[in-house]
C-alpha cells in the first residue's frame, strides 16, 4: 500500500472560530494508483474542497501527510494542477496569455516561441483553436472552463485536481466537456482527483468513487469501484447492465446513508481501510450486507 | 427622434452656453446713468458709476483678452508680466513633480499595506490622522524646513496627492481575488513575479482610480499654494491680476485652470481605461 502514487495518510483538518474547534475530518486515508480517475462525492460541508486544497498544497493538514510519488506535499507544486470551479482565468490575459502563463511558469527557460507553440498545442487539444486572442470575458462559460483545462494540462502535471469543474455549466456543455476530459485523460493516462456533486458525472468519469459522510467530522464511508467497462460511452452508458445498480447505490448514499452512516458503523469498519464496494446488477452482496443492488 | 443621444446632448450644451453668454452680456451692460452725481465723487468712483457700465467685463471683453493670451502664451516681460502659458507650465511642472514623487512613495507603500495585515494595522493610525489635514496647513512647516517656496509647493502637492493613491493601492492589492493568487501559487510563481503578473494587473484599475482622484486634488491645491507662495504659476497669476483689478484676466485664468484640470483628468481616464479588464 505504501508504494501508491498518491497517498493520503491519516490527514485531519480542524478550524477554530470563536474559541470553538470544529473538526472537518480526521484520520482520513485514501490512495490512488498512477492513471486512476477518482471522484469524491459528498454533501456541502463534508470537507471535499478542503481535501482537494490539501492535495493542491493550498491548505495544510493539521495531522497526517499526503505523499505524491513517494514525496510528502509541502505547499503548492507544478506537479499538481488545479482546475478551479470558477475557472479562475486572469481576465486581463488572452486565452493564449493564460495558458502561456502556466507554460512559462513550468518552463522558465523556454523561449517565447517554445512557450507559444506548447500553449497552442493544448489550446487546440481542448478545441479552442481560433480563439487564442480572445479575452475570458468574450468566452462562454464552457469555453472559459476549456481554457482552465488547457492551462492545467499544459504544465503536464503528475496529478490533475478538479474542484467541481463542470458545475457552473449548462447540461449540454457539461456533457461535451466531460467527453473531452475523459478522452484526454484516457489518452494521456492522467491521474485525476475530482470533486463532484453529480452522480452521473462520477459514474461516467471515475474508476473509483469516494463517498464522504456529512460533516463535521466527516469520514470516508466507502470506496465504490465503478463496475462499468472502461470503454463506456455517454450515449449508451445507461444501457450498461450495472449502471442503475451503481447509480442507485450512490443516490441512496447521498440521500440517506451519508447522514446515518456514522451512527451505525458497519462491523469491522476501519478508517484506514474503508470498505470497497462494487455494485452490480448480478446478486453480489456488498460488504455492508446490503442487497439493495439486486 | 433627431440624431443620436450624443448629438442631441451637444445641441443642448451649445444652447445652454449661448444662453449663458447672452445673459452674461446683458447683465454687465449696466443700469441707468447717474447724472446727478457730484463731479468729485464721480471721478473717485470711475466710469462705472458715471456711465452706468459694470466693472464686471462681458463675454466679449473676456474673449478678446483670451485671444491675446492664446496668440502669445509664452512671452516673458519680467517677474510680473509673463504669458499665461508660462504660468500654467510652472504650475503643471510643480504638480507633476509632486505627484510623481507621491506615486513613487504611495504605490510601493500601498502594496506593502495591502499585502501585510500587520503593516495595514500598524500604519493605519498615522494615515487616519495625516489624511484629513488640509495640504495648505503644511505650508508654514514646509517653508520653515525647506526654505524654498517652489520646493514647498511641490511638497504640498506631494502630501495632498499621496493619500488617495496610497489608500486605493492598498485596497486594490488587498482585494485581489484569492483564486487568482491561488493560480499563481499552484504554478509556483515567485513572490516578485506574482506581484507584477497577478497583483499589479488585478489592482491596476483601482490604483489608477486613486491616481485620478489625486491628480484632481493636486490641481486644486496648486492654485491655492501658489497664491500663498507667489512668484510664478497660475495661482499666483490669478491673485496678481486680482491685485491689478483685472477681472478679465482673472476670468480668463479661471477658464484656463478648468481646461487644464479637465485635460489632466482625461489623461488619467484614458490610462485607466487601458488597464481596466472586463470580467
Region B198-212 average pLDDT: 96
Question: Is A78's CB within 8 Å of B180's CB?
Answer: no
Closest CA to A251 of A230, A216, A219, A224: A224
- In chain B, how many domains are there? 1
Mutate to test the interface with A, among B187, B189, B192, B194 (most CBs of A within 10 A): B187
- Burial pattern B144-163, b for ≥16 Cβ within 10 A else e, equals eeeeebbbbbbbbbbbbbbb
Task: Find chain B residues with C-beta within 8 A of A92's C-beta.
Answer: 201-202, 204, 275, 277
- Residue B201 and residue B192: Cα distance in Å, rounded? 13
Region A126-133 average pLDDT: 91
Enter the CATH code of domain A4-79+157-277. 3.40.50.300
Closest CA to A48 of A82, A25, A77: A25
Whether the predicted pLDDT of A26 surpasses 90:
no
For residue B243, count CB atoms less than 10 angstroms from its CB and return exposed for 0-12, middle for 13-18, buried for 19 or more: exposed
H helix intervals, chain B? 5-27, 39-45, 47-51, 59-71, 84-115, 117-130, 139-146, 149-174, 178-186, 191-194, 200-229, 234-243, 247-275
Nearest CA in chain A to B186: A76
Task: Find chain A residues with C-beta within 8 A of B189's C-beta.
Answer: 105
The contacts of residue B179 (CB under 8 Å, 6+ apart) are: A84, A86, A88
Whether the predicted pLDDT of B49 surpasses 70:
no
pLDDT band at B79 (very low <50, low <70, confident <90, very high): confident
* In contact, A89 and B181? CB cutoff 8 Å: no
Given CB atoms, is B183 within the 8 Å cutoff of chain A?
yes
- Residue B35 and residue A22: Cα distance in Å, rounded? 95
H helix intervals, A57-170? 95-106, 112-125, 141-154
**Residue A46 three-state SS:** coil
DSSP letters of A165-176? TTTTS-HHHHHH
The backbone torsions φ and ψ at residue A221, rounded to the nearest 5 degrees and listed phi first, read -75, -50
Region A3-9 average pLDDT: 86
Q: What is the CATH number of the domain that holds B158?
A: 1.10.3720.10
> What integer pLDDT is reported at residue B230 of this predicted model?
83
Minimal CA separation from B109 to chain A, in Å: 24
Q: What is the pLDDT of residues A240-284, one digit of tens each?
A: 888 898 999 999 898 888 888 888 888 878 888 888 888 887 665
* In contact, B176 and B203? CB cutoff 8 Å: yes
Structural domain that includes position B149? 90-226
- Residue B50 and residue B37: Cα distance in Å, rounded? 8
Question: Is B278's CB within 8 Å of A88's CB?
Answer: no
- Complex prediction ipTM: 0.86
Minimal CA separation from A77 to chain B, in Å: 6
In the block, cell 512559462 appears at A104
Q: What is the pLDDT of residues B209-262, one digit of tens each?
A: 999 999 999 999 999 999 998 889 999 999 999 998 889 999 999 999 999 999
* In contact, A69 and A191? CB cutoff 8 Å: no
Region B134-138 average pLDDT: 93
Question: Is B180's CB within 8 Å of A57's CB?
Answer: no
Given CB atoms, is B35 within the 8 Å cutoff of chain A?
no
Q: Does residue B271 sit within a domain? A: no
Closest CA to B178 of A85, A137, A106: A85
The contacts of residue B69 (CB under 8 Å, 6+ apart) are: B83, B84, B85, B252, B256
Nearest to B187 among A78, A92, A135 (CB): A78
> What integer pLDDT is reported at residue A218 of this predicted model?
87
Given CB atoms, is A76 within the 8 Å cutoff of chain B?
yes
Minimal CA separation from A255 to chain B, in Å: 31
Closest CA to B176 of B115, B105, B110, B122: B115
Nearest to A81 among B180, B186, B201 (CB): B186
DSSP state of A275: P
Nearest to A91 among B182, B185, B279 (CB): B279
The contacts of residue B130 (CB under 8 Å, 6+ apart) are: B163
Nearest CA in chain A to B276: A92
- Residue B29 and residue A92: Cα distance in Å, rounded? 58
Closest CA to A178 of A166, A192, A162: A166
Region A22-31 average pLDDT: 89
Nearest to A82 among B186, B202, B277 (CB): B186
The contacts of residue A236 (CB under 8 Å, 6+ apart) are: none
- Residue A66 and residue A58: Cα distance in Å, rounded? 13
For residue B101, count CB atoms less than 10 angstroms from its CB and return exposed for 0-12, middle for 13-18, buried for 19 or more: middle
Q: Which of residues 104-163 of A touch B (CB under 8 A)?
A: 105-106, 135-137, 155
Region A42-56 average pLDDT: 89
Whether the predicted pLDDT of A127 surpasses 50:
yes
Alpha carbons within 13 angstroms on the beta-carbon side of residue A101 total: 28
> What integer pLDDT is reported at residue B52 of this predicted model?
58
Question: Is A56's CB within 8 Å of B279's CB?
Answer: no
Q: What is the pLDDT of residues B146-195, one digit of tens each?
A: 999 999 999 999 999 999 999 999 999 999 999 999 999 999 999 999 99
Q: Does residue B279 sit within a domain? A: no
> What integer pLDDT is reported at residue B50 of this predicted model?
57
Domain boundaries, chain A: 4-79+157-277
Question: Is A80's CB within 8 Å of B186's CB?
Answer: yes
Closest CA to B246 of B75, B60, B57: B57
pLDDT band at A219 (very low <50, low <70, confident <90, very high): confident
B152: left (phi over 0), alpha (psi -120 to 50) or beta: alpha
Establish, for the pair of chains A and B, how many residue pairs have beta carbons separated by less than 8 Å: 59
Question: Is B197's CB within 8 Å of A101's CB?
Answer: yes
Count each helix (H run) and each strand (E run) in chain A, helices first.
Answer: 8, 11
Mean pLDDT of all residues belonging to chain B: 91
Nearest CA in chain B to A83: B183
In the block, cell 527557460 appears at A109
Q: Does residue B176 sit within a domain? A: yes
Whether the predicted pLDDT of A293 surpasses 50:
no
> What integer pLDDT is reported at residue A3 of this predicted model?
59
> What integer pLDDT is reported at residue B31 of this predicted model?
61
Cell of B122: 500598524
Amino acid at each position: 500500500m505504501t508504494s501508491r502514487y498518491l497517498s493520503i495518510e491519516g490527514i485531519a483538518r480542524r478550524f477554530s472560530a470563536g474559541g470553538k474547534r470544529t473538526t472537518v475530518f480526521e484520520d482520513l486515508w485514501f490512495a490512488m494508483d498512477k492513471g486512476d480517475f477518482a471522484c469524491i462525492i459528498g454533501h456541502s460541508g463534508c470537507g471535499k474542497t478542503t481535501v482537494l486544497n490539501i492535495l493542491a498544497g493550498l491548505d495544510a493538514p493539521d495531522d497526517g501527510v499526503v505523499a505524491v510519488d513517494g514525496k510528502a506535499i509541502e505547499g503548492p507544486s507544478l506537479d499538481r494542477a488545479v482546475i478551479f470551479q470558477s475557472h479562475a482565468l486572469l481576465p486581463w490575459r488572452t486565452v493564449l496569455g493564460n495558458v502561456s502563463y502556466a507554460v512559462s511558469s513550468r518552463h522558465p527557460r523556454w523561449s517565447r516561441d517554445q512557450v507559444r507553440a506548447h500553449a497552442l498545442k493544448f489550446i487546440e487539444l481542448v478545441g479552442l483553436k481560433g480563439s487564442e486572442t480572445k479575452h475570458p470575458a468574450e468566452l462562454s462559460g464552457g469555453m472559459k472552463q476549456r481554457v482552465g483545462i488547457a492551462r492545467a494540462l499544459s504544465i503536464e502535471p503528475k496529478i490533475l485536481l478538479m474542484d467541481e469543474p463542470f458545475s457552473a455549466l449548462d447540461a449540454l456543455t457539461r456533457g461535451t466537456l466531460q467527453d473531452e476530459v475523459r478522452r484526454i485523460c484516457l489518452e494521456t493516462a492522467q491521474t485525476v482527483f475530482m470533486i463532484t456533486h453529480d452522480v452521473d458525472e462520477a459514474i461516467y468519469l471515475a474508476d473509483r468513487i469516494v463517498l464522504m459522510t456529512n460533516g463535521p467530522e466527516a469520514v470516508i464511508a466507502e470506496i465504490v469501484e465503478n463496475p462499468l467497462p472502461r470503454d463506456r460511452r455517454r450515449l449508451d452508458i445507461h444501457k450498461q447492465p450495472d449502471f442503475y445498480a451503481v447509480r442507485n447505490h450512490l443516490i441512496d448514499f447521498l440521500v440517506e446513508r451519508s447522514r446515518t452512516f456514522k451512527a451505525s458503523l458497519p462491523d469491522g469498519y476501519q478508517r484506514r481501510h474503508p470498505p470497497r464496494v462494487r455494485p452490480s446488477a448480478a446478486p453480489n452482496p456488498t460488504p455492508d450486507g446490503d442487497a439493495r443492488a439486486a | 427622434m433627431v440624431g443620436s443621444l450624443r448629438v442631441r446632448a451637444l445641441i443642448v450644451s451649445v444652447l445652454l452656453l449661448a444662453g449663458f453668454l447672452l445673459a452674461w452680456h446683458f447683465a454687465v451692460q449696466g443700469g441707468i446713468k447717474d447724472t446727478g452725481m457730484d463731479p468729485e465723487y464721480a471721478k473717485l468712483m470711475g466710469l462705472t458709476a458715471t456711465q452706468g457700465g459694470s466693472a464686471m467685463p462681458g463675454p466679449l471683453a473676456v474673449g478678446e483678452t483670451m485671444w491675446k493670451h492664446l496668440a502669445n502664451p509664452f512671452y516673458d516681460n519680467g517677474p510680473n508680466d509673463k504669458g499665461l502659458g508660462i504660468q500654467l507650465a510652472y504650475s503643471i511642472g510643480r504638480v507633476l513633480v509632486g505627484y510623481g514623487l507621491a506615486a513613487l512613495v504611495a504605490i510601493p507603500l500601498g502594496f506593502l499595506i495591502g499585502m501585510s495585515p500587520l503593516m495595514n494595522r500598524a500604519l493605519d493610525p498615522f494615515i487616519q490622522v495625516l489624511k484629513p489635514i488640509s495640504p495648505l496647513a503644511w505650508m508654514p512647516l514646509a517653508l520653515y524646513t525647506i526654505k524654498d517656496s517652489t520646493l514647498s509647493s511641490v511638497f504640498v502637492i506631494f502630501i495632498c496627492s499621496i493619500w488617495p493613491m496610497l489608500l486605493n493601492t492598498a485596497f486594490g492589492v488587498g482585494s485581489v481575488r484569492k483564486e487568482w493568487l491561488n493560480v499563481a501559487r499552484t504554478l509556483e510563481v515567485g513572490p516578485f513575479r506574482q506581484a507584477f503578473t497577478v497583483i499589479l494587473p488585478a489592482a491596476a484599475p483601482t490604483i489608477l482610480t486613486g491616481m485620478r482622484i489625486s491628480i484632481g486634488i493636486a490641481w486644486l491645491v496648486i492654485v491655492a499654494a501658489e497664491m500663498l507662495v507667489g512668484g510664478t504659476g497660475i495661482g499666483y497669476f490669478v491673485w496678481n491680476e486680482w491685485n491689478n483689478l483685472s477681472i478679465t484676466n482673472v476670468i480668463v485664468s479661471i477658464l484656463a485652470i478648468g481646461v487644464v484640470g479637465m485635460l489632466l483628468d482625461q489623461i488619467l481616464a484614458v490610462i485607466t481605461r487601458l488597464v481596466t479588464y472586463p470580467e
